[in-house]
Amino acid sequence: MNKRRVVITGLGVVSPVGTGVEKFWKSLIEGKSGIRPITHFDATAFDCRISGHVIDYDPLTHFSTKEARHLARFVQYAVVSSREAIAMAKLDLKNVDLDRMGVLIGSGIGSLNTLEVEFRKYLEKGPSRISPFFIPRIIINEAAGQVSIDTGAKGPATCVVTACATATNAIGDACRLIQYGDADVMIAGGTESATTALGIGGFSALKALTKRNDEPERASRPFDRNRDGFVMAEGAGVAILETLEHAEARGATILAEVAGYGRTSDAYHVTAPEASGAGASRAITLAMKDGNLTPQDISYINAHGTSTELNDKVETLAVKKALGEHAYKVPMSSTKSMTGHLLGAAGGVEFAASVLTIRDNIVPPTINYENPDPECDLDYVPNKARKMEVNVAMSNSLGFGGHNATIIVKKFSQ
């Protein structure tokens, strides 16, 4: 069968640089950092004492006191960003066939905070004090499940867990469900809230996090020679995906069209990317092939760009391998320089940023880029947003375990 065309009609974002799509986007274009000292727990003894914690979010604005108590933060973020995406899409749920509407929202880790709190209860007060909401609060599928409950969507409802590639895989897999007829509308993306003591401590133990604690806003510096690790962050990014026919039938404003999707595995190491970038390069190549695109068609790349030594070098190699000499002509920025690394939600907020580059014809910068690295020699849009025509935008996500995912969006045209 012929694949059905998939368009994007709505976006929702919760992020360290702003809750809400327009606030998020304005911060990115202005080059504002959302990285701050950790204040929500005592991080004095930690190697990394900074994070991208969401500060403009009040659960009671969105949920009742009871709901806010029972729903884990990563689940709340998924619901809030989904509601915003639905509102932007002007999707009237009373006039949608809910049997043909699904949810695919993933998370890399789920609720570490719940694990910490409940295990402490167990140690101090015994097993009888463990909350009956412990399991529903920690299992990752609850984000998709709760969005399904909140919207009434009764189509495919599932989740993806591929570490830092989670949200990109979720959006790409949701596109496949639409393309091959399993749904007409999908709510898709990723959510994360793991900037807790265990989360920060665990990634610090891996030597993955920056130690630039005295300069929080300058700590995340993808592709810069002096990068020393990523900054953990939290939030969610969700998109409304529809068949072109469904969107047109209800007179929706189409933000962009999904052009291609590719995913591969390095089959190499539990955390490190394969040094040649072959797996990531193949994901890019597959996404271009899926969209019948050539390297010359790519206008902009939203890089995975974590600010770690290996990732940035390997992603640069992968892009050059996939795009050849044209790689040097394509602007490629890392919005993680401002948001930090949202782990399983990263691909969701970066998908939103990629769609918005097409909507507004402006590319967000890589801030804190001060010292060029000879091994990272592409155009990283240093420090200042760039106005330019963006017809096709690519977003890369590379996850622990060797998961590589690339999704491409393009300007909509008949």
Q: What is the pLDDT of residues 50-71, one digit of tens each?
A: 999 999 999 999 999 999 999 9
What pLDDT does 2 receive?
Answer: 82
Could you give the percent of the chain with pLDDT greater than 70? 100
Read off the pLDDT of each residue in 38-50 and give the average, rounded to a whole number. 97
Are 76 and 234 contacting, i.e. CB atoms less than 8 angstroms apart? no
Helices (H) then strands (E): counts for the chain: 15, 15
Catalytic positions, please? 164, 304, 341
Taken in order of first residue, the domains within the chain and their CATH numbers are 6-249 (3.40.47.10), 261-409 (3.40.47.10)
> Distance between CA 365 and CA 388 in Å, rounded?
12
**What is the residue-averaged pLDDT of the chain?**
97
Please give the pLDDT value at position 316. 98
- Reading the block at residue 387, the tokens are 């106005």
Q: What is the mean pLDDT of residues 258-283?
A: 97
pLDDT in tens, 370-414: 999 999 999 999 999 999 999 999 999 999 999 999 999 999 998
Rg (C-alpha) for the chain, rounded Å, is: 20
> Is there a contact between 8 and 254 (Cβ–Cβ < 8 Å)?
yes
Q: What is the CA 368 to chain-centroid distance, rounded? A: 21
Residue 32 dihedral angles phi and psi, to the nearest 5° = -90, 135
In the predicted model, is pLDDT for residue 142 greater than 70? yes
Contact 311, 369 (CB under 8 A): no
Mean pLDDT of 78-104: 98
pLDDT digits (tens, 9 = 90+) for 172-196: 999 999 999 999 999 999 999 999 9
Task: Find the mean pLDDT for residues 156-184.
Answer: 98
Q: Is the pLDDT of residue 1 over 80?
A: no
**Residue pLDDT, tens place only, 322-372:** 999 999 999 999 999 999 999 999 999 999 999 999 999 999 999 999 999
Closest CA to 5 of 180, 239, 240, 179: 179
What's 214's DSSP letter?
T
pLDDT at 28: 98
pLDDT of residue 62: 97
* Residue pLDDT, tens place only, 295-329: 999 999 999 999 999 999 999 999 999 999 999 99
Q: Is 163 exposed, middle or buried (0-12, 13-18, 19+ CB in 10 A)?
A: buried
Task: Report percent pLDDT > 90 for the chain.
Answer: 99
What average pLDDT does this structure show over 263-275? 95
* pLDDT number for residue 414: 84
